Structure 1
Amino acid sequence: MIEGLAKNNAQLKTVLENQTSRMREVENDVDYLYSDFEGLHNSHNEEKIKREILAQALLKNSIEINGIPILPDENGLEIVQKLFKLIDVNLQISDVSSCYRQGKNPREFSNGNTLHPGLVVDSVRECDEHTLMANIKTLGKSISSTDLGILNDPPSSVFVNEKLTPYFKRIFFLARREKAAGKIKYVWTRNGLILA
């Protein structure tokens, strides 16, 4: 009887040692797979960032005008022409390759505010976009919808910015939030880059 228990105990010990050995092998396999996954994840993130940088580079000739309400029978090129005249930029409509709304419907908020989709202007040359942005900065006053001949009540503030991809818009938003928290002194964009 005691010999039988000793034999069973020896067999159980052997099984337990085999299971422990196998468990260590599985743990090593899991560690290897986890490190491999981390490498793939990092590689995927690097590729995503490269794609976003390339997408932003395609927008180097584009600006976005926000704060202009959607009008019936709207002509975006007329609005752009009035903006060129207001900021004293010697650009013609032929210098604009396209002008379109970045969406169709305004967004209504619970506080009664309405956010109209931005008007995107693609210029033919990159230097036109630089000239436009430089003149807006030297204008010295804010632009309202009435300055562009749009009579809405109350007049809305008009903002002209570089066109950013959603990815870079998000980064810019987060950077401005850090500025508001006092962690960054200045935040701006130039040539599609977010600078602080």
Structure 2
Amino acid sequence: MYSTNPYAQAGWSTGSSGSAPLPSIFGALPFSGQSSGPSIHQFEFANPDPDILNCTVIGPQSKTYFRILNNTPSRNFTLVQNRDGASIAVIEWRQSPGAVVEIRDIIRKQLVSTWLPLSEDRKYRFMKARDRTLVWVPQNEHVGLYTYGTSTPELFARLTRTGGKVTLEITSTAIQIGLLECCIVAGVLLQSGRSID
């Protein structure tokens, strides 16, 4: 069953385990650029060669915003570079105790399982960034990034995988508070198909 769920590789259950459903508030929030809320910006992880660990991230106006490069020959490191070619993040793929991530000036070097820890029920992942705690919650064909600890969670971003195409939709609010780089790196980790814990 995990072969049909792209999020199962990130450690989330497929929903068929018989455990309690996610709170309905996460599925009820609208995500559309047609509302009077913040505008939505779309980023596509384009031209994967052979996967998301080697691709270009194309954003608004079809401009290149990031490059994801799996370092050769060891392939133990994945770099995220900005449009100027400067490395802004690095992922080190380790067997034990697990993958390590660092995002320049945002996330100090740490285990991915510390930065994106699974909830106790293994239904969502926390993400700490910019003095905020957020949660990545899988829903149908996407994973949404929500505020955490508020009575009405706000949807900041959404990762969608359709076939081999991965797309990040992110609100202007999330970009303004500096979450774009974190969402790009989280997208790479969650869609890598590799063990991140």
**TM-score (normalised: structure 2):** 0.22
Q: Which structure carries more relative contact order (alpha carbon 8 Å, separation 6+)?
A: 1
Greater helix content: 1
More strand as a share of residues:
2
